[in-house]
Amino acid sequence: MILEDDEWKLLEQLREVLKILYDATQYVSRGDELNIHLVIPAMDVIDEQLTNHSLNEEYTPPVRAACVIGKKTLNRYYNRTDESSMYRIAMILHPQFKTQYFKNAKWEDDWIKTAERIFREDWDCRWSLLKEDGDVEETATVAPPKTSTNIFDHMPAVVALQQSLIAPTTDPIDLYLSTPCESVNGDPLEWWSTHGRRQYGLRMMRMAHSYLSAPATAVDVERFFSRGRILLSHIRNRLSATSTRALLLVGAWTRL
């Protein structure tokens, strides 16, 4: 069977479209190298590429129609990210994204406000209640400050100056969101362990580590179970649970 020139052209265009999905599959299959904060950016890239191809008049109608169907399928999964707060919270906790990523992606203002509200609620309900290491409960009675009766100590100019020198108690969430995005050189966890902890405290660092260390896919887990099935063959099925777990862990550690 000999293909016509127009058929070769269609296959070449289809190859370019399928490469997007192939690269995406390879990207999310990296296991522990890909965490949850990169899911939405990756889906945005796929959506942008499919949109460009669907609008490209040089492409044949079947390929452009396939791109439109692909976008609809992608959007169905994109909407599923709204069912879990982890995606948005993890992205906001990435110092290179914060809420600026949503603004650059032209999210609607209501969506951005919802993401920030979810972020704040999770902080208020869970992480703000944790005790910072090194905090010492005050047990001694603190003597109240002495009040001066000298009228010159209460001059409006003096009082205004003293109030301006009092450092306001800034909520770490407000402080974090008010500062510009920062480059992390690829590893947000390391950034939070050093810079983030100094600037925003141990509680926010723990929150960031909890979300930013979440894997984007179950690839590692599935591979781990597959190795377990290879280990427990039909002729070697008398290993105890402790021995099986130890062998799987040693095998995983040797690949680190």
End-to-end C-alpha distance for the chain, whole angstroms:
49
Rounded to an integer, what distance in angstroms lies between the CA atom of residue 153 and that of residue 155? 6
Mapped onto helix, strand or coil, the DSSP state of residue 215 is strand
Which of these, 116, 96, 75, lies nearest to 196 by C-alpha position? 96
Look up residue 103 and give its two tokens.
Answer: 């603004």
pTM score, two decimals?
A: 0.71
Which of these, 6, 2, 3, lies nearest to 61 by C-alpha position? 6
Tell me, yes or no, whether 55 and 92 share the same domain.
Answer: no
Tell me, yes or no, whether 3 and 107 share the same domain.
Answer: no
Please report, for the chain, how many H helices and E strands are present, in that order.
13, 0
The pLDDT assigned to 240 comes to: 80
What pLDDT tens digit does each residue of the chain (256 aa) get?
677 888 888 999 999 999 999 998 888 877 666 788 888 999 999 999 999 999 999 999 999 999 999 999 999 999 988 888 999 999 999 999 999 999 998 999 999 999 999 999 999 998 988 876 644 344 444 455 566 676 666 666 655 555 554 445 578 899 999 999 988 877 899 999 988 999 999 999 999 999 998 888 776 777 777 777 777 776 666 778 788 888 877 877 776 6
Rounded to an integer, what distance in angstroms lies between the CA atom of residue 34 and that of residue 27? 8
The pLDDT assigned to 33 comes to: 66
Q: Is 38 inside any structural domain?
A: yes
> Given its phi and psi angles, is residue 3 left (phi above 0), alpha (psi -120 to 50 degrees) or beta?
beta
Tell me, yes or no, whether 192 and 113 share the same domain.
Answer: yes
Last residue of a domain, one of 83, 110, 145: 83
Tell me, yes or no, whether 99 and 209 share the same domain.
Answer: yes
**Could you give the maximum distance between any two Cα atoms of the chain, in Å?**
105
Q: Is 135 inside any structural domain?
A: no
The pLDDT assigned to 163 comes to: 54
Q: Is 227 inside any structural domain?
A: no
Tell me, yes or no, whether 203 and 114 share the same domain.
Answer: yes
Tell me, yes or no, whether 71 and 100 share the same domain.
Answer: no
Tell me, yes or no, whether 9 and 57 share the same domain.
Answer: yes
Q: Is 10 inside any structural domain?
A: yes
Look up residue 169 and give its two tokens.
Answer: 């108690």
Tell me, yes or no, whether 3 and 95 share the same domain.
Answer: no
Are 217 and 193 a contacting pair, CB within 8 Å?
A: no
Rounded to an integer, what distance in angstroms lies between the CA atom of residue 240 and that of residue 108? 54
Q: How many domains does the chain have?
A: 2
Beta-carbon contacts of 252 under 8 Å, excluding residues fewer than 6 positions away, are 224
The pLDDT assigned to 137 comes to: 43
Tell me, yes or no, whether 64 and 95 share the same domain.
Answer: no
Tell me, yes or no, whether 4 and 94 share the same domain.
Answer: no
Which residue segment(s) compose the domain that 191 sits in? 85-128+185-214
Tell me, yes or no, whether 117 and 196 share the same domain.
Answer: yes
- What single-letter DSSP state applies at residue 218? S
Q: Is 174 inside any structural domain?
A: no
Rounded to an integer, what distance in angstroms lies between the CA atom of residue 219 and that of residue 207? 24
Q: Is 235 inside any structural domain?
A: no
Q: Is 146 inside any structural domain?
A: no
Q: Is 95 inside any structural domain?
A: yes
The pLDDT assigned to 211 comes to: 93
The pLDDT assigned to 100 comes to: 93
Tell me, yes or no, whether 25 and 76 share the same domain.
Answer: yes
Provide φ and ψ at 2, rounded to 5°: -110, 125
